[in-house]
Chains A and B, each alone.
Chain A
Amino acid sequence: MAKDSEPLFSSKNLKLLTDPLNNKNPITVQVLGICSALAITVKLKPAIVMTLSVMVVLAVSNVVISALRKSIPPRIRIIVQLVVIATMVILVDQFLKAFAYDVSKQLSVFVGLIITNCIIMGRLEAFAMANKPWPAFLDGIGNASGYGIILIIVAFFRELLGSGTLLGYPVLEKTGLYNIGYENNGLMILPPMALITIGIIIWIQRAKNRSLIEE
């Protein structure tokens, strides 16, 4: 068993963490999970909480499925995966309701909808079913971070330009911009701007990395 001696953070394992942040980003490259990215990025705080929730669900589900991967009959694997994800989502939902009720209110149905987030099913199917628990764990963390980083960038601009605050703190008011006639951009709060912001991120990313451009 020479393979077991592979270090925990070998370059191959590190790639599992860093690839989804850029070249294999779930949102901007694979275009998955767009729905929640539009819905909960009006403010920064829900976006961060959403990121953490997805991270917990994805990492734990990945590990569980990876550990069970040899005993899951292939014909019912989707159902087994869904059971694991649903369990995790319910746990996270209950946790949020207990300790962060306000945010839970804002996220409303979207915590429950993590179950249907394509990123999670996709990673379980594509990675956890074929890899050991530790790489599966790293893959989960990596993909959730890739998802979260886009969410947080979008939410940062939408909250800053749309409401003039960051995490509820009135940043723009302190700088005195309003006194010289600045006004919040009402369009940033509306869903289309989330789509356009993601579009701009995709534009910048592909301008920098031309290999991502589709034919």
Chain B
Amino acid sequence: MKALRKYVDKIKPHFEKGGKFEAFHSTFEAFETFLFVPDKVTTSGSHIRDPLDMKRTMIVVVVALVPAMLFGMWNIGYQHFLALGEQVSLGQAFWFGFLKMLPIIVVSYGVGLGLEFLFAQLRGHEVNEGFLVTGFLIPLIVPVDIPLWMLALAVAFAVIIGKEVFGGTGMNIFNPALTARAFLFFAYPAWMSGDQVWVAGLKHGLQAVDGFSGATPLAEAAAGKIDQLPSVWHMFLGTIPGSIGETSVLAILIGAFILIYTGIGSWKIMLSAFTGGLVMGLILNLFAANPYMEIPAWEQLFMGGFAFGMVFMATDPVTSSQTETGKWIYGFLVGIMAILIRVLNPAYPEGVMLAILLMNVFAPLIDHYVVEANIKRRLKRAKVSVQ
């Protein structure tokens, strides 16, 4: 560590003003603060001083995502060999999934960080850390067989149109990872939905054994085949087809625990989102007009990307509500919309993505009214005390 520090200090003058690599200052700065906690200390103006800077915050989220990713890797291999009807060891399945997943992660980070660095150089600001998490989220919410060039295009779209045009990290309206997914979903629906894309190889002509279905629980529920749904236990563990990181509720709960324990993710949003989903599920149960509506409300929470979206996407500190009361409202509405879109709109088998993007738009409005209400309440109180 000391040798590294020494080396960084040695090359530092080249990147300062007047040095020969002055143009790459923001790139150097990004790597230096990535390796070491910056020595900048806030001296005035702010009331809360915290040693946790943005890079350290982001790393916690990445750590929280690791269980879901590791499980996703194993599940890729497990589903693939299940489709072939072969029995393989845990290691083999994991290795297969690892090799499938690696290019997706490399492309996601390569394209995204490349663009982030480019924009930072062009605009002369520091490289934003936001993409550390986004680049990790994107591989977890796409199907395993997504062509890499499509992924690269989606990442570029998310970074440029979803984030940089608004002014970079912290200014974006929409969650960038979901922007990338929405881009893929609408641009290349054949690769983002259906029965073929969720298991490695099926789309490329792999012959599955009889009785194997690559359809996700959501697709089967939408098709009305309620009796063919996997058991809740399987959905909880995640041994089902689906986007890479979203299947295992167990792994996501571990991540949620890390986020809540460290205080990085808002437990208010998570709790209210799950409550919202449950309430909407119960309302649909009351009507029960078709088999989909009859699925027990709590089972809905295990299906599709609901858990993943609520834990990792809805809690994005930039695009969710900032006020504490607003977080309750925001999370609750995300939960309601997710189940509502999923069950009632046959065109979109998964409502979580659209629900969160929709509520991203409304988050500032919710905040506005929460603040206004607070001002009004305090004004009223002030008047009363004067009389």
Contacts and interface: CB of A to CB of B under 8 A. Distances in A.
A182 to B, nearest CB: 8
B232 interface: no
A171 interface: no
Contacts of A91: none
A183 B165 contact: no
Contact of B186 (A183, A190, A199): A190
A186 B191 CA distance: 11
Interface residues of B, number: 13
Given A181-B147, A181-B149, A186 B165 contact: no
A8 interface: no
Interface in A173-215: 181-183, 185-188, 190, 196, 199, 203
A183 B188 contact: yes
B147 A185 contact: no
11 contacts: A181-B149, A183-B150, A183-B190, A183-B191, A185-B153, A186-B187, A186-B188, A187-B186, A187-B187, A196-B161, A203-B165
Interface in A71-87: none
Contact of B189 (A181, A186, A196): A186
Most buried by A among B165, B186, B188, B189: B186
A190 to B, nearest CB: 6
A190 B185 CA distance: 12
Most buried by B among A181, A183, A190: A183
Interface string A152-186: 00000000000000000000000000000111011
B165 to A, nearest CB: 7
What does DSSP make chain B's interface, helix, strand, loop or mixed? helix
B187 A188 contact: yes
B183 interface: yes
A187 B183 contact: yes
A186 B161 contact: no
Contacts of B186: 186-187, 190
Interface string B160-188: 01000100000000000000000100111
Contacts of A203: 165
Contacts of B153: 185
Given A185-B153, A187-B183, 18 more contacts: A181-B147, A181-B149, A182-B149, A183-B150, A183-B188, A183-B190, A183-B191, A185-B187, A185-B188, A186-B187, A186-B188, A186-B189, A187-B186, A187-B187, A188-B187, A190-B186, A196-B161, A199-B161
Given A185-B188, A187-B186, A187-B187, A199 B165 contact: yes
A185 B191 CA distance: 12
Contacts of B165: 199, 203
A105 B44 CA distance: 66
Interface residues of A, number: 11
B29 to A, nearest CB: 25
A199 B166 CA distance: 12
Nearest to A185: B187
Contacts of A181: 147, 149
Most buried by A among B161, B187, B188: B187
B196 to A, nearest CB: 15
A63 B188 CA distance: 48
Interface string B133-164: 00000000000000101100100000001000
A211 to B, nearest CB: 20
B84 to A, nearest CB: 24
A196 B162 CA distance: 11
Nearest to A181: B147
Interface string B71-109: 000000000000000000000000000000000000000
A199 B46 CA distance: 36
A188 B186 CA distance: 9
Nearest to B186: A187
A203 B165 CA distance: 9
Nearest to A180: B149
A211 B188 CA distance: 39
A159 to B, nearest CB: 15
Contacts of B161: 196, 199
A159 B191 CA distance: 21
A148 B150 CA distance: 31
A206 B190 CA distance: 37
Contacts of B147: 181
A187 to B, nearest CB: 4
Interface string A91-125: 00000000000000000000000000000000000
Contacts of A190: 186
B162 to A, nearest CB: 10
Most buried by B among A181, A182, A185, A188: A185
Nearest to A190: B186
A183 B187 CA distance: 9
Nearest to A200: B161
A184 to B, nearest CB: 9
Nearest to A161: B187
A176 to B, nearest CB: 16
A34 B91 CA distance: 57
Contacts of A199: 161, 165
Interface in B171-215: 183, 186-191
Contacts of A186: 186-189
Interface in A1-38: none
A185 B190 CA distance: 11
